[in-house]
Amino acid sequence: MAKPAVLVTGGLGYIGSHACVALAEAGYRPVIVDNLGNAKASVLERIRELTQSDISFHRADVRERQALGALLARERVQAVLHFAGWKAVGESVEKPVMYYENNVGGTIALLAAMAEHGVRRLVFSSSATVYGEPERLPLTEDHPLRPVNPYAKNKLVIEHILADCAVADAGFHYAALRYFNPIGAHPSARLGEDPRGVPNNLLPYVAQVAVGRRPSLRVWGRDYATPDGTGVRDYIHVMDLAQGHVAALAYLERRARSITANLGTGRGYSVLEVVSAFERASGKSIPLEFHPRRAGDVAQSYADASFAARELGWRARLGLEAMCRDAWRWQSGNPEGYPD
């Protein structure tokens, strides 16, 4: 029997590329669409190498509704994992229209193409950032949603659109997955995170310090009400996250209902704990500079991960040590990231 085809938008990006490998391992046929706006073409070769298969790739923009529709039909797509979008919080504050246009506009074009071609299962990359400043911890899915920047608002608007689509069409089912902080890399070191320019996120920055690309880590704030004064986050291994998508897809097939779930480990680590773990994993020392808090940061954010465990039958298996080990293996094996 032919393997079910799953369209992966943004499939050459950090999380999408790992998800393609997990999908192929689970017996699906990933079909990638990416406009290369934040990815390199060489990622495709790595995915093909790891999956030992000639994964289909289409360089296209998800906002091109007609092209997308033709692709859904030609590839006989059964379901979609939707990763495509811009993700830099600071940039979203400076260029809100660009963010709404790509993230919300892209999702609308995708949903229209799906409706036209009878594709009625979608897994969406939402984010824990939709919760805003936590009122209580751990964060459960019913926590109030008060996003504080355009990027986070994009995610919430899209969640609302998906809920409306599910009301309008009883046969349409989606999973909105609220990721916490994805880090790490494929254990082969062939796939990993390769940000352009100066990394915004903690782990890629630490990894670039360890490999000698940057002199020191700037720690944003040491006066938070946390055990060591630095920010606490729920870091999740990208391989676990990728498996979460396979579990969500299986849920949509099995249960034929929509779901919104946190994907995290349920455990928070401070910046200094992450740095220590990375130093142990890499054998390198990470010089630190302490700076004032970064605007928009919260003291702590971590998931109640029990809903995903119960409903999806999925839980994160890899701890901080594995996350740092694999991030270091990736960074040291690919010091300048992917080749052009």
What is the footprint of ligand NAD within residues 170-229 (CB under 6 A)?
179, 182
Interaction between residue 334 and ligand NAD (CB under 6 A): no
SS3 sequence, the chain?
A: CCCCEEEEECCCCHHHHHHHHHHHHCCCEEEEEECCCCCCCHHHHHHHHHHCCCCEEEECCCCCHHHHHHHHHHCCEEEEEECCCCCCHHHHHHCHHHHHHHHHHHHHHHHHHHHHCCCCEEEEEEEHHHHCCCCCCCECCCCCCCCCCHHHHHHHHHHHHHHHHHHHCCCCEEEEEEECEEECCCCCCCCCCCCCCCCCCHHHHHHHHHCCCCCCEEEECCCCCCCCCCCEECEEEHHHHHHHHHHHHHHHHHHCCCEEEEECCCCCEEHHHHHHHHHHHHCCCCCEEEECCCCCCCCEECECCHHHHHHHCCCCCCCHHHHHHHHHHHHHHCCCCCCC
Taking contact as CB under 6 A, which single stretch among the options 23-31, 44-52, 137-145, 212-220 is the one that binds ligand WQD? 212-220
Size of the site for ligand WQD (CB under 6 A): 18
Residue 63: which of ligand NAD, ligand WQD, none does it interact with, CB under 5 to 8 A by kind?
ligand NAD
Catalytic, 151? Answer yes
Give me the least distance between CB of 307 and ligand NAD, in Å please: 17
Residue 13: which of ligand WQD, ligand NAD, none does it interact with, CB under 5 to 8 A by kind?
ligand NAD
What is the footprint of ligand WQD within residues 272-311 (CB under 6 A)?
294, 297
x-or-dash pattern for ligand NAD, window 97-126, by CB under 6 A? Answer: -----x---x------------------x-
Interaction between residue 63 and ligand NAD (CB under 6 A): yes
Contact 98, 162 (CB under 8 A): no
* Residue whose CB is nearest to ligand WQD in the complex, by number: 231
What is the footprint of ligand WQD within residues 169-198 (CB under 6 A)?
181
4: cis peptide before it, omega within 30°?
A: no
Taking contact as CB under 6 A, which single stretch among the options 33-41, 200-208, 246-254, 277-285 is the one that binds ligand WQD? 200-208
Residue 202: which of ligand NAD, ligand WQD, none does it interact with, CB under 5 to 8 A by kind?
ligand WQD
Interaction between residue 131 and ligand NAD (CB under 6 A): no
Q: Tell me whether residue 65 or residue 100 sits nearer to ligand WQD (CB atom).
A: 100
Interface contacts to ligand WQD, rule CB under 6 A: 87, 89, 127, 129, 181, 200-202, 205, 217-220, 231, 233, 271, 294, 297
> Active-site residue numbers?
151
Residues that bind ligand NAD (CB under 6 A): 9-10, 12-16, 33-39, 61-63, 83-85, 87, 102, 106, 125, 127, 179, 182
